[in-house]
Structure 1
């Protein structure tokens, strides 16, 4: 609710999350998640409503408008319940627990997530979006039931669900530790099981809605490198091309929306998330290294430009997301009618409409068009008897004119909180882009962001989760640690600045002390020193953001090689063994684990560059796609284990290729290194 003179103000007005602040003037007496609300529920013996969403969530806004801004509905909520609002992006731990509860109830998950708890914060009922009438009926029936003899049944149900939530996922899915080691045969089966679900016509997986799922396609790039399979490369290239041509990609301003509602990647839910764009930059940069396809270069450059223009804070942090809606309509900021295009582009409109597949009827609401493409620039130029250079100039001109018009429109809302893990994903994207293209500006942005994380998001030896208006308030989760460790290791490999490797090592030691469960050889999602919820969960399944455990396993493997730390490398292998059978059986939900399988199937190359031109050689080497290698180097002496005993020969920059700490003959050119690999 936006009002200059609000009738109501609740406790959310003291929060920094834009999502919580959107509800600060609801007539609902909202509390943020915390001890004050939980104590009130216990003291007054009232049930709790915990309502979880995020700023870019369309249906969250709908439910707020229909129910939470309605004074009569708010009165029922306030009378019977302690009402708690949660930003799932700030508190993924709370979201995980109660989303799992919804699944345990046999219900479909999603947001807004509305769960009813007893005063001990144990869940007994829930759902996602409720229309106002259904919501009111539910509130009244649960409110009355909790005051009657039925309370005992609801409490018993809550106890039962709490027990289910406390069970380990490894137990729940009956995952035995792998009896056999890694093998080419088993890996083939893994790839076959993933390929069964491909959409071979339009790319992606064979279902709608369609999410980009970068970790699937990054795994397949690794698989192609490992096996030479053209089939997996073709499916990956099909997917990346269709994504880049689709309406899910902003053809004018760059950047990807969260998902497409159809199987053709045409109609997105228009919210743009930092975590998607960071990972898709990594994916397209790697795909460019493999194919040298100019479309992939264009996507990387335009997406970085979008993030820098619309999601970057003056301090060098990255904001979380842009909303789907503006002026109360989904996608309005991004779409155009044919008449609008004629007015903006003049005589060139028919050609531009052909290029972007726009019609008078439109392909979206109210005769508007979602701009999208159906053929390559080369094919389009040929079909219209244009030279590629002339077409490229025209497209650039169209984009500039359309961007100028968009700049006059009401913009979608910005969620300007800064999240550590998501920033680390963007940092990783910038580093992958720098490696692929050698663009100095990408490294400048990456360094700026890394220093921002160090300055504003460190919490003693650990990390904070969030930052806004000069304040960081929530302790970091495993996702934050895992992604920062990954990015800091990558900065070292992109610059040979050893401090970043040492920072990654320190954060790894912190996670081993405060998150690790030696019984299951996996990490908890929450810090042992943080707030205890009704269940302490472990994240095993790779979603749009890969599981924090799979990222940690990769980190331990890479750092173990860099630091000659056998404890790290052995733990990475042990972590994979715990989920190996499930990875092979259901790889679509565990593709980052599958990437670790690919990495451990062959020895990882240890590449060392020493001598006066170490930086130049590193840049040259980085242009190549080398997913199963760690790279270390220095132009001077170093105490890092990988550099010990590896000196420049005859004062000339020297490159070493080693496997399992045994090196091949030292060489002086990148071409020779590639031959040895």
Structure 2
């Protein structure tokens, strides 16, 4: 037997290809081997940018004695959670049910039929209070399994039966204006008025919740909602979460004050945050938000862009095995890089202290005050960035994930339109072309590719929802009908293969012909990125507005009837759902602008600047797309047609009249 990861396309799995552990990839062959040997499957799930995954790998999976125990008594399966979110979802649910918590690395022991009978996360190489060593755990599980006790083997069946029973769709309960108002009020109560954001440490960027609150403000005029958005956006932008030199946000802050990040940088976070800051810049006119949006876009286009035109999944938390090594500074390092005067000025501006805010006397970089000398700051920023570029750099997980690239396409296309950056729209088109040309195989999406080679894992619901929405946003940004046609085809496929036929409006996360797992995952909650069902609901609402045909509008409405309870009771885990519901409550708003490119430009600019979030805006010649059908010029002049749901205003021909109508 041997380690079987050498041929993998997953950077995470390739990190483990030289372990002495005899790893298998997920698949029927591994479970057949477990049945043949009558041993459990040891499932280890993680991802390439995960700090504690690296720690456990170094402590245990690279250790010969530990590997010998694993090889003798288990069939060992390594899974990249980003490549197989379905596998991760099933066993994370089991881990949380058994232990009350979850995270990565995730460690599960399964029967040869796949039922989990013992689950946990990180295990140390030596015992700690309340936690056995990993080798102790291996020995205990082996002894329990070898005893032949039917309770051990039956435990997995019992766990699966209970979780299947609990995993059904939520009861029907609509998300109406009252639920939206209640969610906003609840979030106001949870808001951290000192630091921004919600709750204590660790603190994740609540991007989708902020998008909801911004749309809620636009619809209702709520000052409180906007104050939460701006307070949190400022705190994140100025704190250690945001890379003050190169742009790009880390995954979360380990403290409540946004000082010290967990340094991994994920594509999905940065795509969602780019969209948020672009929306804020458009709505408020605040230069700082535009600067942050531009820096985040630059990070995507510089640090995460792949040669094929897509965007890589993440940058690692560690550099040479040390977390944050690339990013932190001491006062002496600033003086060495900049000289005494500039170094001292930068230390004061960026919160770099003698005692340090991170580890070993080093500090993360934060903007502690507004920059009063922009040219000086820009010169210093570039100088520090040059010094940092000479340091060891974190690893890049360069696989292209369909859903996350969809989020990036949406963000770049929408931000490029709102902020007048055509290069961002062009980058979005390149990424969308890659996804359609490479990831769409025989009409079905694949989850990932790497180096221009598509992977074998089937796309899940979030891949279809996020990419369909991205194509609809591109259609609005460019007017090209190919994006509209491709997006509606994805919606048709998703409705055909992911619908839960036992509960109207509910969806499974995997297709009806996907690899069978011990239960079919279906998680409606939004987390770090939109859930599959909420991503699809958003795409359906856009598709209904743009295509004007098919079952998309009704399907979007039905999907929202399944999340009223979630939105009311746990709005922090329903941010994207609430964002979609705000668009639906507003109509949704549609603006069709007809005329030649030159003549309609002022109307398009007014619509882009003043329309509320979630508005569909399409511009072109009359009858060139479905939304422009039967909408002629007015006395030979360009015109804008505004509709809210099924009610349309009289067309207007001047930017002033358009702004007044939107107000």
Q: Using the alignment, how far apart are the partners of 1:639 and 1:543 within structure 2?
A: 35
1:53·1:60 contact (CA, 8 Å) conserved in 2? yes
Q: Structure 1 CA distance, aligned partners of 2:201 and 2:232?
A: 14
Q: Which runs of 5 or more residues in structure 2 are unaligned? A: 127-132
Query: How many angstroms does 1:404 deviate by?
Result: 0.8
CA distance in 1, matches of 2:297, 2:175: 38
SS at match of 1:84: strand
Q: 1:233 aligns with which of 200, 213, 226?
A: 226
Which segment drifts farther, 449-458 or 57-66? 449-458
* Residue in 2 that maps onto 1:388: none
Q: What's the CA shift for 1:369? A: 1.7
Shift of 1:190: 2.1
Deviations 1:1-55 (A, max 9, x none): xxxxxxx961011101111011111111000111221111122221100000001
Instruction: State the alpha-carbon separation in 1 of the partners of residues 517 and 425 from structure 2.
Output: 40
Alignment of 1:91-240 (within 5 A): 91-133=84-126, 134-150=133-149, 152-167=150-165, 169-170=167-168, 175-178=170-173, 183-240=176-233
The superposition leaves residues 142-198 of structure 1 with CA deviations (integer Å, 9 ceiling, x where unpaired) of: 112111132x11111100111123235346xxx4312xx655444322221222211
- The answer to whether the aligner puts 1:575 opposite 2:574 as a matched pair is no
The 1:639–1:238 alpha-carbon spacing in structure 2 relative to 1, beyond 3 Å, is closer
Quote the residue 1:600 is aligned against. 584
* Structure 1 counterpart of 2:398: 416
Deviations, residues 479-500 of structure 1 (Å, cap 9, x unaligned): 1111000100100111111111
Q: In the aligned structure 2, how far is the partner of 1:331 from the partner of 1:662? A: 54
1:630 aligns with 2:640: no
8 Å contact kept, 1:56–1:324: yes
1:574 to partner: Cα distance: 1.4
Structure 2 residue aligned with 1:11: 4
Structure 1 gap ranges (5+) = 1-7, 382-390
Matched, 1:542 2:541: no
- From 402, 419, 423, give the equivalent of 1:441: 423
After TM superposition, the structure 1 = structure 2 runs for residues 259-658 of structure 1, keeping only pairs within 5 Å, are: 259-346=252-339, 347-377=341-371, 381=372, 391-473=373-455, 474-520=457-503, 521-565=505-549, 567-613=551-597, 614=600, 617-638=603-624, 640=626, 642-658=627-643
Distance 1:186 1:420 in 2: 32
SS at match of 1:300: helix
- Deviation at residue 674 of structure 1 after TM alignment: 2.3
Instruction: Find the aligned partners of 1:77 and 1:366 in 2 and give their Cα distance.
Output: 36
Per-residue deviation, residues 250-305 of structure 1 (Å, max 9, x unmatched): 11111000000001100001111111101100010001111111111111111111
Query: Which residue is 1:22 aligned to?
Result: 15
- Return the TM-score normalized by structure 2: 0.95
Following superposition, the deviation at residue 331 of structure 1 comes to: 0.5
Deviation at 1:357, TM superposition (A): 1.4
Distance in 1 (CA, whole Å) between partners of 2:74 and 2:630 is 68
Partner residue in 2 for 1:386: none
The answer on whether the counterparts of 2:278 and 2:418 sit within 8 Å (CA) in structure 1 is yes
Q: What TM-score comes out, normalization by structure 1 length?
A: 0.94
1:536 shift after superposition:
0.6
| Cα deviation, residue 620, structure 1 | 4.1
Does the 8 A contact of 2:606 with 2:658 survive in 1?
no
Contact 1:435–1:619 (CA under 8 A) maintained in structure 2? no
CA contact (8 A) 2:621 2:628 kept: no
Q: 1:187 and 1:273 mapped to 2: Cα distance?
A: 29
For each residue in 1:444-503, what CA deviation from the matched residue of structure 2 results, as whole angstroms up to 9, or x when unmatched?
111111111122211121211110133212211111111000100100111111111111
What does the per-residue CA deviation read over 1:324-355, in whole Å, with 9 as the maximum and x for residues that have no partner? Answer: 11122110101111111111111211111111
SS at match of 1:556: helix
**CA distance, structure 2, for counterparts of residue 469 and residue 430 of structure 1:** 22
1:11–1:184: structure 2 CA closer, same or farther, 3 Å change rule? closer
Write the distance in 2 (CA, Å) between the matches of 1:205 and 1:392: 32
Q: CA deviation at 1:676?
A: 1.6
CA RMSD of aligned residues (A): 1.6
The equivalent residue for 1:3 is: none
**Equivalence for 2:130:** none
SS of corresponding position for 1:351: helix
Output the CA distance in 1 between the equivalents of 2:546 and 2:485. 10
Partner SS state of residue 42, structure 2: strand
- Helix, strand or coil at the partner of 1:588: helix
What are the Cα deviations for residues 343-381 of structure 1, in whole angstroms up to 9, with x where unaligned? 11112111111111112222221221211122223xxx3
Q: Is the 8 A contact 2:209 2:572 kept in 1?
A: yes
Retained in 1: the 8 A contact 2:203–2:254? yes
> SS of the residue aligned with 2:190?
coil
**3-state DSSP of counterpart to 2:108:** strand
Aligned residues: 651
Q: Within the alignment, does 1:72 sit opposite 2:32 as a pair?
A: no
Distance in 2, Cα, partners of 1:462 & 1:625: 35
> Which of 625, 638, 651 is the aligned partner of 1:666?
651
Q: How far off its partner does 1:616 sit? A: 5.4
* Corresponding residue SS for 1:412: coil
SS in 1 for 2:643: strand
CA distance in 2, matches of 1:470, 1:9: 28
Contact map agreement 2:275 2:411 (CA 8 A) in 1? yes
Structure 1 residue 111 displacement after superposition: 0.3
In 2, the alpha carbon distance for the partners of 1:543 and 1:368 equals 31
Change in Cα spacing, 1:304 to 1:493, as seen in structure 2 (3 Å) is same
User: After alignment, is 39-48 or 95-104 more displaced?
Assistant: 39-48
Shift of 1:107: 3.0
